[in-house]
Structure 1
């Protein structure tokens, strides 16, 4: 894989601002592949310090299976605008309402919803507000409650640094320390370092501060989610420092969800093992009634 693979939109994809009732959001929108039978539309929400580009390597294999993929930058992430300093704009309920507005703007009868890590907790909150726009919910490397203690410590370091230093200074400090683990991990993952830096600088500090706090304090809402009449899929790598894999296994049981563990992958199966991940995702969506 080339360094720029994730920052180069897939062939045939459109990159544009999706206009919604809650503002514009940057999306990468890939159509169903020529000759494939259209099976549905998927809205994908990225994780902490991430962006829509985290899903780039899934677009082509999923388009070949008949799925249109719409990956979005949430409010204040990378190429979607948001307040620089107002953390209240990034309260989880606000981000959940954004996801519902994005779903409405796509004007599809019902969508599959996927969230990676932080995006999974936002997706869960959206479904708990209103599940009617969705056909299914996939939680990818996204656990039942707050992140692990080691990751809470990393997020606290990041929050403390952002409170007193510029985004550019914090990026330099992250580089000097070496790539951190995924949750505080803007330096980790495929992508040209210059493009990763641009993404970091495009993300609003208030978004990182507010969502980092959410990751450290999220309550367990699995019982609430289990009462929602949707099919669920819990996907992860075989190792995960953010939510230990046994915790994800248990969550899947509590949700009566399909469970996929992607061999060779860690916290980002979407970039670690995209083909195996795409096969598992499409295999699940293929079983969901139209």
Structure 2
């Protein structure tokens, strides 16, 4: 379970609705408080029990690098509605949503794509399907295949318990206890409760099943030849840091280990995470322009 550092939106960040051919999506959109938008935009995709709010602590910093930055609730997550059809929540189906969103957000420009945890598996589908030309791809605390360890056990409970017992049961018997044990403040605990029970039960249980069964597509991703960053906390308890480092090596990708962070670097170490993303995005844009210039 991840918790935003704060719930008040920083300057330049506002809630929006984005219309796409795949439906309407709730987003947080950040633009520079000072200066102008002069760089390619970015799209941030949250994890299984998360939402766009998980990126609040990095949005303003990312936008101040001169770009529009959009964090989204996936279909069936928090403030984005979703159908009762289980097939709407496969990684491939959700990846098609990301394709549509990226095309709207980009408005003809390439988009930097970031996927956190389960969101990384979803974003990977959008990259591999080849529908959209992305500027770069960042896997944040997201591994090559099924999630492991404690988080795998939690995902299995979600997949099994939600269809039978519902979201309120999940809150009272798991998430509330974790929040209380972590001494989470009342306002954030209220937000976490509201967020969890706003999910589509079908969506959450199916997404949990996906994160437990997703196959390794690293070799396919490598074939795309897209600038890729693998970023994770040094104490990640979702996919082992060694597995993520190995995935980065297989991809020939840049790798950043965030000191002190666990599974949510954007929450636990926002300034380090934002700085790493901005460096990577700027380098990807420079590489693109240099390659284009040499081709001419």
- Residues 41-82 of structure 1: CA deviation (Å, up to 9, x unaligned): 000000010000000111111122223210000100000000
> Cα RMSD between the aligned structures?
2.3
Q: CA deviation at 1:32?
A: 2.5
**Superposed counterparts of 1:56-95, under 5 Å:** 56-83=56-83, 85-95=84-94
Residue 232 of structure 1, aligned match among 228, 238, 252: 228
Q: CA deviation at 1:163?
A: 2.4
Alpha-carbon distance change, 162 to 276 in structure 1, aligned in 2, over 3 angstroms: same
Q: Choose the corresponding residue for 2:265, options 258, 269, 280.
A: 269
- How far the C-alpha of 1:192 sits from its partner, in A, is 0.9
Tell me how far apart the structure 2 counterparts of residues 167 and 37 of structure 1 sit (CA, whole Å).
40
Structure 2 partner of 1:194: 190
1:211 matches 2:210: no
* Cα shift at 1:110: 0.6
CA deviations on 1:22-47 (whole Å, 9 max, x unpaired) are 11000111113312662220000000
What is residue 48 of structure 2 aligned with on the other side?
A: 48
Give the C-alpha shift of residue 132 in structure 1.
3.8
CA contact (8 A) 1:4 1:190 kept: no
The CA distance in 2 between the partners of 1:195 and 1:86, in whole Å, is 27
Bigger helix share:
2
**Which aligned segments of 4 or more residues in structure 1 are displaced greater than 4 angstroms?**
187-191
- Cα 1:127–1:244 change in 2 (3 A) is same
Are residue 138 (structure 1) and residue 138 (structure 2) matched?
Answer: yes
- 2:244 is aligned with 1:248: yes
2:218 paired with 1:222:
yes
Instruction: Give 1:175 deviation, angstroms.
Output: 4.4
TM-score normalized with structure 2 length:
0.89
Residue in 2 aligned with 1:165?
165
Aligned-partner Cα distance in 2 for 1:95–1:191 = 30
Q: Offset of 1:166 from its aligned partner?
A: 2.3
2:96 corresponding residue in structure 1? 97
Q: CA deviation at 1:255?
A: 0.6
CA distance in 1: counterparts of 2:26 and 2:146, whole angstroms = 28
Are residues 1:13 and 2:9 paired? no
Residue deviations 1:194-245, cap 9 Å, x none? 1111101111111111111111111111001000021000000101111000
Following the alignment from structure 1 to structure 2, what is the Cα–Cα distance between the partners of residues 282 and 167?
37
* 28-37 vs 104-113, which moves further: 28-37
Q: What CA distance in whole angstroms lies between the structure 1 residues aligned with 2:17 and 2:27?
A: 6
Q: How many residues were matched structurally? A: 283
Determine if contact 2:11/2:33 at 8 Å carries over to the other structure.
no
In structure 1, runs of 5+ residues without a counterpart are none
8 Å CA contact 2:31–2:60 kept in 1: the answer is: no
- Asked if the contact 2:27–2:71 (Cα under 8 Å) also holds between the matched residues in 1, the reply is yes
Q: Structure 2: how far apart are the matches of 1:287 and 1:191?
A: 39
Look up the SS of the partner of 2:154 in the other structure.
helix
